[in-house]
Amino acid sequence: MISLFHKPILVFGTKKQQLIQQVPSKHFIQMARSSLDEMSDSGAFIRTASTFRNIISRDPSSLFPAEAGRYHLYISYACPWASRCLSYLKIKGLDKVISFTSVKPKWERTKETDEHMGWIFPASNTEEPGAESDPLNGAKSIRELYELASTNYSGKYTVPVLWDKKLKTIVNNESSEIIRMFNTEFNDIAENTDLDLYPPHLQAQIDATNEWIYNGINNGVYKCGFAKKQGPYEEAVKQLYEALDKCEAILGRQRYICGSMLSEADIRLFVTLIRFDEVYVVHFKCNKKQLREYPNLFNYTKDIFQIPGMSSSVNMEHIKRHYYGSHPSINPFGIIPLGPDIDYSSPHDRERFST
């Protein structure tokens, strides 16, 4: 049960402030240890904020300067938040200067001494296709990385984790901030510097779009799936389908969600849409309508999937094995539904908006 909340920590301050923010405050003592515990008294799912909020800067004198080879991104292919960071690595051409490792898809016990279930690295690189053992710290779990970075951490052990090899600590574990850094701060060493997914003229529109898409769709599917009472579930489903209907209408008029150019808001929307029919329809009870019943949204999802680099950020095997296998309160026997096995590389109709 969460009884204390705090505002997200935005750290753009001095070096001293940045270091202070690496140490979680005492408020985290009562925080949830996993998303399965993030529940209000009314039975609604309430996500807690991320803890490590340092910023990598293109300024060489900053505490965390953008340097080739210095940072490592720990992800799970299953996780939509981590996947948006991986998408940025791929489409910005940063994967040669920022290395990454994916954990195993299914949560396991992270320690023998307690019951916590979480992300685990495979013992070898052949154990689990797509997953690799931790090349930097030899950690067995994502939990161990948090414990290396902070001695009194008591929040959730989430991915993504952006790790600094030099200072041996977590720079940031909030995907919405990691993607902003990847978009701009590494442009001196990125291969695709021309791609700006958060250009000044679109920033207000992207921010506003992110807001309703996060509430209704990205986090909305979790609110549907993790609700423990009928009322909050129904409220979440209503909001989800209002937001999907709104997207469908917008995408009937233009190629991308903020207009004629690809933006951050598209990548953030995509990671939820690509999981929708394979997982959320069944596992999170989002079955009022499937993605395939929305012609614009479905074709749009294929369009984004087919952007060079994007498909390599999607590992459907990991996605399905994670969700269906890691939430025993929702799917006690861990059975993985076989369908629908959609081919997102098949033709779409979105070129009709190109000039």
Ligand X SMILES: N[C@@H](CCC(=O)N[C@@H](CS)C(=O)NCC(=O)O)C(=O)O
Q: Which residues are catalytic?
A: 79, 222
CB of 57 to ligand X, least distance (A): 19
Q: Smallest distance, Å, CB 160 to ligand X?
A: 6
Does the footprint of ligand X cover residue 159 (CB under 6 A)? yes
Task: State yes or no: 235 annotated in a binding site.
Answer: no
175 marked as part of a ligand binding site: yes
Complete DSSP assignment for 260-320:
SS--HHHHHHHHHHHHIIIIIHHHT---SS-GGG-HHHHHHHHHHHTSTTGGGG--HHHHH
Report the nearest approach of ligand X to the CB of residue 172 (Å): 9
Chosen residue from 157, 214, 284, 344 binding ligand X by CB under 6 A: 157
Q: Considering beta carbons, is residue 140 or 289 the nearer one to ligand X? A: 140
- Window 59-98: residues binding ligand X (CB under 6 A): 79, 81
Interaction between residue 174 and ligand X (CB under 6 A): yes
262 forms part of the interface with ligand X (CB under 6 A): no
118 scored as a contact of ligand X (CB under 6 A) = yes
> How far, in Å, CA of 219 to CA of 229, rounded?
17
- Assess 216 for contact with ligand X (CB under 6 A): no
User: Using the rule CB under 6 A, is 34 a contact of ligand X?
Assistant: yes
- One of 9, 35, 246, 307 touching ligand X (CB under 6 A): 35
Using rule CB under 6 A, residue 154 touches ligand X: no
Residue 95 and residue 202 in contact, taking contact as beta carbons nearer than 8 Å: no
Measured distance CA(24)–CA(328) in Å, rounded: 29
Say if residue 313 carries a ligand binding annotation. Answer: no
Residue length of the chain: 355
Q: Does 320 bind ligand X (CB under 6 A)?
A: no
Q: Is 40 a residue that touches ligand X (CB under 6 A)?
A: no
Considering only residues 105, 122, 155, 160, which one is a binding residue for ligand X as defined by CB under 6 A? 160
The helix or strand, by DSSP H or E, that contains position 163, with its residue range, turns out to be: strand 161-164
Query: What letter would DSSP give residue 47?
Result: P
CA distance 272 to 217: 7
Paired sense of beta strands 71-75 and 99-102, if any: parallel
**DSSP helix/strand/coil, 10:** coil
90 is in an annotated binding site: no
For residue 174, say whether it is annotated as part of any ligand binding site. Answer: yes
Q: Is 50 in the site for ligand X (CB under 6 A)?
A: yes
Minimal distance, residue 81 CB to ligand X, in Å: 3
As a whole number of Å, the end-to-end CA separation of the chain is 52
Among 53, 70, 72, 156, interactor with ligand X by CB under 6 A? 156
What is 178-234 written as a DSSP string? HHHHHHHTTTTT-S-TT--SS-GGGHHHHHHHHHHHIIIIITHHHHHHH--SHHHHH
159 is an annotated ligand-binding site residue: yes
Instruction: Please tell me whether 156 is known to bind a ligand.
Output: yes
**Which residue's entry shows tokens 């095997």?**
317
Q: What residue numbers does the annotated binding site cover?
A: 119, 156-159, 174-175
Q: Which residues bind ligand X (CB under 6 A)?
A: 34-35, 50, 79, 81, 118, 156-160, 173-176
